[in-house]
Structure 1
């Protein structure tokens, strides 16, 4: 499909194919573009709720000549802090009912502790909010101690201390930052006190909530869900991980420069690998699955270097190269099956419905490992592939990347919801594989088709959770479909 046809197909949105983006590139006289998924997902007429700038006013040229088009998800870190404190007071248990009740109580508490909803804002407002907290430093007094990453200024508060200018980074009014903090500080103290009071009530056996029993009914009647159900029925091989929306996003984003630093370091040139050295390295990597399965036109998902460019000399002056698999997460809060079968158990703000195995070079993979070494509180799943790409400040063939580790660690701590969603997805994957192993064992033991195993375990599920048989059958049909999907993904990992 041509850019013109694609622009008509997805005409409400933006991407490297849209006329609005092309017009901005002509205006700034550049052919380099860095456009992220959030920008692609927002309509062309979107404006930032903080600075009120439109997309053409937000886009700006970096010092390296790249047009930066980026929107970020901004949430209240106070909710993360309160959730951690609530769990610390309540404690943990292996009892499933305790965990369910604890999560119900925690999520209810957060409705009154979080000061604002998750909001999409432009990258400059997000950077300004971080800079404002850096200006304050860690906030400590006799009553309340808070590290700067443990709370967030709201969109309205950000608007009060920035000086927005079209196509430029915001300036901060330091006095307004301090006065804004002085206004919100008593409220934050009060909200954290409320969090601790609810936690103590829970410890004392109060604020329990009865979990729904019986058949869960779909009560929504949504046109999009009905249409997509028809599409899936007509196209049974239509994978959610390769859905229309996902394909539009992949076609829309651009990473012509993954540098995040406004003043990227100049990297000294190094000698390129010779044909003879490359042939020897190629032979040495014969046992690497992914090295053998990709051709010379392949490029790293993060840094966009070619197979040859990622080769570099070790300290012992030996050429080496490795390719790793990272999972590119597919988030979809409206996917009906995930909401129906998983959401009530997972208690997460985000739901991962699928993943796409993506190949990256050793130097991009190194980013996640290194930030864990630098900060042992960082979770191994805290950075997405896009986050890794954004943390790279300079790239050159045959060299380690220059990494903005401060940004990477900060982003890792911000991705609390993503970490929780990944953990829930892994737990779901384990449950699916367990169910598939039971089904295969039953088929082998009884020498029967999969339908017989499905019916047996559907009956078992229905009785266990006290629902109708049809509900159990629907559940097992979904688990089998999920099992086939995970098996397909495993083949490429």
Structure 2
């Protein structure tokens, strides 16, 4: 197509733009955080720092719910404001914790269909997940409510002392009636008032449990299935071309093929990393339960995990975890209910790219990434379920840590104690340090994803042109437009050469 000429677009009067300035949260000092996030809270806020001083705390335990809630918030349960909720623990740590309190019958509504219909019920029942949403709305007494940790604990304490069905939960307004809140202290519970509330609500609760059973039985019998035709395109019509939809498309288009594509997505993660703190005193280890040391020959021979059973069955009997070194039998450990668990799972590892030509091509097409490291791709490594849980456990224990990546060698290095039939002891401090040091690798992984996506787009179009010779010209036009507009490559001859290079890779 030597006679092909790229179209020129000089007049841009048909478009308009706006500049959006967003902070690099990780680079902000405490005063900057207060300026950019005036409505939010965190270890950096004056309110929190003054509470540490006033109560003479030696540390701080401030959770994500607290950080993401306005400073002027008050608990809908006890009515205390944030400054009044601050409490110093027995170990001297300032507690700043809010919890999402929910009706426990919601969990029962999730569990019941699995019990009646089996784990794959959603695939078998037409519109089942949507019907379940309606069932949950019918049987639960209240929506989730953000309350202070003392109110949340008061709910559990009252239920235990009264021997109430664990599926029942007191609503925030009910907790207010029996939990006496005092500034900087734990709640005092009026157990007689709690009992009166339970007595009044018990008939309705029992009716809701019976209604749940009846509706799930109807769902199982096929009497409550829901047809889904037309639902997805019809429901959001009133939102079409609204500000939210336009921005959700415009922003990704503006930062596409740049290292900024994850900055907005990672804003919450970065905010929590700067705001959350968990200074906890080491707790005594729980007394070990009288559990079996290992499975019997019969138990081991018949064991098949619920998670990814095919991988377990396909693994050789002499397979060992490349991280902790345990064999299949050693992976199995008993739960508190004396049921065996353990499986073989996948973790992804990255390999460096050494092809100089492809590196040069990536850097030309994606110049806005860091490009100080290039990855050839991801590969799957089979490890035991306890080793696979290292990253999720770190994220769960330290919710502000963000995305976690550890090499197999790094995973090995954070294992403090490894033994057959028990959970690993992990050095979380070291795991966090190693993961943070791998941010450069995670940035390279995002560049790999962008290039893989671009290559897939080229592959699709070039494959279409090969199957349909009459479409070759418009395919070429599309790819040329892509390189000229989205990748800012002005020279027509260079664009043609790049299309050829991408075609060779495809």
Q: What is the TM-score with the length of structure 1 in the denominator?
A: 0.52
What is the CA distance between 1:369 and its match in structure 2?
A: 6.4
Counterpart of 1:52 (choices 70, 79, 92) is: 79
Contact 1:327–1:358, Cα closer than 8 Å, also in 2:
no
SS of structure 2 residue aligned to 1:34:
strand
Q: How many pairs does the alignment contain?
A: 304
Match of residue 84 from structure 1: 111
CA RMSD of aligned residues (A): 4.4
1:422-450 CA-partner distances (Å, limit 9, x unpaired): xxxxxxxxxxx9xx99x99xx7xxxx933
2:48 pairs with 1:21: yes
Alpha-carbon distance change, 91 to 245 in structure 1, aligned in 2, over 3 angstroms:
closer
* Structure 1 gap ranges (5+): 140-145, 266-284, 291-320, 331-353, 372-384, 390-394, 398-432, 457-493
Match of residue 438 from structure 2: none
Match of residue 274 from structure 2: 251
Query: In structure 1, what is the Cα distance between the partners aligned to 2:267 and 2:393?
Result: 19
Query: In structure 1, what is the Cα distance between the partners aligned to 2:160 and 2:199?
Result: 15
Query: In structure 2, what is the Cα distance between the partners aligned to 1:115 and 1:196?
Result: 16
Match of residue 199 from structure 1: 216
Contact 1:61–1:68, Cα closer than 8 Å, also in 2:
yes
Match of residue 118 from structure 1: 144
2:395 pairs with 1:326: no
Match of residue 252 from structure 2: 232
Match of residue 69 from structure 1: 96
Task: Report matched runs for 1:389-404 at 5 Å.
Answer: none
Counterpart of 1:153 (choices 140, 158, 170) is: 170
Task: Report matched runs for 1:123-202 at 5 Å.
Answer: 123-137=149-163, 139=164, 146=165, 148=166, 150-202=167-219
What is the CA distance between 1:257 and its match in structure 2?
A: 2.3
Question: Which protein shows a greater Rg?
Answer: 2
Counterpart of 2:229 (choices 212, 226, 242) is: 212
* Structure 2 gap ranges (5+): 1-27, 286-322, 326-346, 349-386, 431-448, 466-506
Contact 2:174–2:197, Cα closer than 8 Å, also in 1:
yes
Contact 1:86–1:195, Cα closer than 8 Å, also in 2:
no
1:369-417 CA-partner distances (Å, limit 9, x unpaired): 659xxxxxxxxxxxxx9xx99xxxxx9x9xxxxxxxxxxxxxxxxxxxx
What is the CA distance between 1:89 and its match in structure 2?
A: 3.7
Match of residue 458 from structure 2: 449
What is the CA distance between 1:132 and its match in structure 2?
A: 1.0
Query: In structure 1, what is the Cα distance between the partners aligned to 2:102 and 2:36?
Result: 32
Contact 2:75–2:148, Cα closer than 8 Å, also in 1:
yes
Q: What is the TM-score with the length of structure 2 in the denominator?
A: 0.51
Query: In structure 1, what is the Cα distance between the partners aligned to 2:45 and 2:121?
Result: 52
Moved >6 Å (runs of 4+):
327-330, 363-366, 453-456
Counterpart of 1:356 (choices 398, 403, 406) is: 403
Alpha-carbon distance change, 81 to 165 in structure 1, aligned in 2, over 3 angstroms:
same
What is the CA distance between 1:453 and its match in structure 2?
A: 7.8
Contact 1:14–1:42, Cα closer than 8 Å, also in 2:
yes
